[in-house]
Structure 1
Amino acid sequence: MYDFSQYGTPSKEWLEVSSDSATPHSSLSVVERQEIVNKMETLSPMVRMVDHNILTQDQSSLKSRSYTSVDSDITQRLPVALYLQGGGFLTGTITSEDAVCSRIAINTGIVVLNVCYRHTPQHTYPVAWNDTHDEFEWLHDHIDDLGGDPQQVMIIGISSGAYLAASFVLEEHLSLGSTTRPPIAGQILMVPSLINVECYGPMIEKFQDPSVCSLHKSRDAPLLSLSTLQVYTVRAFRVGNFDMCFTLTSDRGYHRACFKF
């Protein structure tokens, strides 16, 4: 959340978009929209795809799929990426991620493990967070079956999946987790959601003029309004407050982030 007012007024193109108040699929229910987003074409077989089932700590079963390029040398131990899908904690299936996971495997030569963590509204916090931990443990338990190198395991997350990835990696980095596995080799966060809207209050108070903050100016944005954002966050968390808030320091300043463990 920042003050973008220094960049001037909205562009003509943006005003044309925002003048159209119609939201795609706005007349459909949440479940109907979920089904539309989840229907994606399966990628052509340029990779070896193997389906797996992961037993969770509450005795549920998670669907997963591993991807290895047909050009990879299966006699060699390969780096492995645990892939966490986006979708606002609401949408996403194994098949919906076939394209991106296959491209990652083909272009990098690594093994990708795509796991469908459980979604809202059926499952709220901390289910998806626990699923991430169980997925990581399963990956290491089956590293030989995957043809992977346990010293080169990374985590990739998109949007809400990046939220889970960052939370898990930070937990392990601060030695707050329960895993005894080798250190995580790295993380890749794509369009990450790292700060929940409930954490914005103290930040807004620091603005001389709160009306210029992006949260206020974009609250009615046509593509992702504040009310739409809250559809995802309220469903996912559904708790009164956050367990932990961290202030992360770096040579570029500080970044305040809220994570749930």
Structure 2
Amino acid sequence: MPDYSQYQGPSAEWETFVEKNPLPAGNFTIPPQTIRQNTNALRIKLAQTELAAESLHDAVHWRDHCILTRDNQNILARIYTPKSNPNQVSSSETPLPVYLYFHGGGHLFGTIETEDAACSRLAAHANLIVVNVNYRHTPEFTHPTQVNDAWDALIWLSRNAALLNANPNRVIVGGISAGAGLAASVVLQHHTMCRHGKDSVPLTVLGQLLCIPWLVHPDNYQLSTQAGSSYAQNVDAPVLSKTLLRLFTDLLGAADPSDPTLNVGLVGDGGVVGLPKSAFLVAGRDLLRDEGLDYAEKLTENEVPTKVHVFPGLPHGFRRFSALASSRVWDELLVESCQWILSESQASSFDVVDTNNV
């Protein structure tokens, strides 16, 4: 794996922020359900604050739908549509592009409500429909439940696009962290099935948007002890430490850590040829930095149109701290990434975000 240690930082913006806003130490000795409850409550509060501050309730229309999974359970999906083009309008209204979204949180954290601000913002500013899928979480549900729920959500979208006034030929699949791993798995599976003429999902995935993606099971990360690797540099990094990642992994309970759906980042060159356009947002001071950048480089080398934005010195999940100027840049890049995927452009690029000049 190439050396990406130059993106480790430090970031003057981050150092100034934590000096004024010390981060609490994580307590991972309490039951995971308690950690989840506390974390979700905080994330919901932050989302509600941003919804109010940005008047996002006025910008989008919400509707909830149930997705029937392969094991006959219902999971919730919240649909966000720009109010300038709500899906209750006449059938003559032009269908909008759609973004199938999977939240982050290590498969342990996250609810529909934790994502309300982010999904509303993207729907309003990128003028597309966002389908926010509340796949099932650990510890109650272990692998492969999450992967199966994600695929079932894609099938549901293909069958219900008309109901949502969504264009099934203009689909983006994406997510954050563990959710980005689910998105990457869905896109790779869909691509493989289409390539072999076995696809029964009648929609077109134009691209994937992978933000701080978790793409490799830690047990398969061969360079974790190599000096300069993100695993070596970020053992005790803010937000996502190695201890927390191990907790997520243990709760996921994969019987086979080499399962390809948990290791999209390790797929061979032949498997990625012909993948749709791919956009990445990567944090430099992140345990998962290297696997995201390595996968992006693999796609580029195999002529997949790829755009990468790196935030040097910023930790995993820094966007939750809305006071950071880089968080506003993150939001802008999400919109730009969606617009690029939906455009005719096939150009690839690698952009280092200079947070000190934001």
SS in 2 for 1:89: coil
Please report how far the alpha carbon of residue 163 of structure 1 lies from its aligned counterpart in structure 2 after TM superposition.
0.2
Q: How does 1:1-261 map to 2 (within 5 A)?
A: 3=3, 13=15, 23-25=25-27, 28-39=30-41, 40-41=44-45, 42=48, 43=51, 44-46=56-58, 47-72=60-85, 74=89, 75-175=93-193, 179-201=200-222, 203=223, 210-244=226-260, 245-248=266-269, 249-252=298-301
TM-score (norm 1): 0.81
**Correspondence for 1:258:** none
Distance 2:26 2:243 in 1: 15
TM-score, normalised to structure 2's length?
Answer: 0.61
Could you say what secondary structure the match of 2:268 adopts? strand
Report the Cα offset of residue 154 of structure 1.
1.4
Displacement of 1:215 in angstroms is 1.9
Contact 1:121 1:236 in 2 (8 A): yes
Q: Which digits, 9 at most, give the CA deviation of each residue in 1:181-208, with x for residues without a partner?
A: 233121111111112211212x45xxxx
1:116-155 CA-partner distances (Å, limit 9, x unpaired): 0001111111101110111111111111110111111111
Bigger Rg over Cα: 1
Q: 1:53 to 1:217 in 2, by over 3 A?
A: same
Amino acid at match of 1:49: W
Task: Work out whether residues 85 and 157 of structure 1, in 8 Å CA contact, stay in contact via their aligned partners in 2.
Answer: yes
C-alpha change, 1:214 and 1:153, in structure 2 (3 Å) is: closer
SS of the counterpart of 1:92?
coil
Aligned residue identity for 1:197 = P
Check the 8 A contact 1:2/1:214 in 2, yes or no: no
How many equivalent residue pairs?
246
SS in 1 for 2:167: strand
Q: Gaps spanning 5+ residues in structure 1: where?
A: 255-261
Sort the Cα spacing of 1:22 and 1:102 in 2 relative to 1 into closer, same or farther, 3 A.
closer
| Structure 2, gaps ≥5 residues long | 261-265, 270-297, 304-358
Amino acid at match of 1:183: T
Q: Work out the CA distance in 1 between the residues paired with 2:156 and 2:218.
A: 32
The equivalent of 1:257 in structure 2 is none
Cα RMSD for the two superposed structures: 3.1
